[in-house]
Amino acid sequence: MGFVDTFLNYDVIMRTMPMLWRGVYNTLALAGATLTLGGVGGILICLVRLYAPLPFRILAIAFIDLFRAIPILVLLILIYFALPFAGLVLSPFVSATIALSFVFAAFTAEVFRSGIQAIPLGQIEAAQALGLPFRVIIWKIILPQAWRIALPPHTSNSVAIAKDTSLASIVAMPDLLKQATDAQALTANPSPLIAAAVMYLIVLLPAVRLVSYLERRFKTT
């Protein structure tokens, strides 16, 4: 069997394409849930880290340090395989969403902390002198400026966590990688794996280029 028949078998790819498309849908759903929950959660944790009373700041720091340090694969295994011993059984999708969202929230919190701390303190003091409520200062003054500073690294982290969705296959989450490996096993041919790699590239390459554009765009402003 030649190279094309082994790795680029058109008939095999077409037969397994419905499985691969289901994997693409599940991967995009997992990435969307992770980016939404982790992004919003990370900003909230960042605000707690900076402005909450001391006990809550300590908890926020502990959360950030813990989930920036623990490998995603280890966290996935703990949530999916260990929690059932405590009576908490979660589906593969929920387990993967929780693990990825926690890690993404920790990195998001640090990125936005850097963005907020880059804002001159005088702006906040001036807003306080005008009698603006704290929530207005956060929403109208701090976050818009911090967003512009944090956007390039935040986008880079988003691409990284989107790639890490492939780890969900370890807990039987039917993402693109899991569907491709199942298709490879069914057909005894690696062509579905090659097709899956191409699908990942089609989705993620534009995101990588977007990161480069944002880095150039905000470097000059």
Alpha-carbon separation of residue 68 from 6, 52, 72, 100 (angstroms): 40, 21, 9, 11
Residues 129-155: tens digit of each pLDDT:
888 888 888 888 899 999 988 988 999
Residues 177-215: tens digit of each pLDDT:
999 999 999 999 999 999 999 999 999 999 888 888 887
The CATH code for residues 3-219 is: 1.10.3720.10
- Answer for the pair 98, 74: CB distance below 8 angstroms, yes or no: no
Residues 90-123: tens digit of each pLDDT:
999 999 999 999 999 999 999 999 999 998 888 8
Contacts of 124 (CB under 8 A, 6+ apart): 137, 141, 142
Q: What is residue 11's three-state secondary structure?
A: helix
Q: Round to whole Å and give the CA distance between 82 and 98.
A: 14
What pTM was computed for the model? 0.91
- Nearest Cα to 107, choosing from 28, 146, 53, 160? 160
Predicted confidence (pLDDT) at residue 220 exceeds the cutoff of 60: no
Provide long-range contacts, Cβ within 8 A and 24+ apart, for 193-198. Answer: 194/7, 194/8, 194/13, 195/13, 195/16, 195/17, 195/20, 196/20, 196/23
166 CB neighbour count, 10 Å cutoff: 18
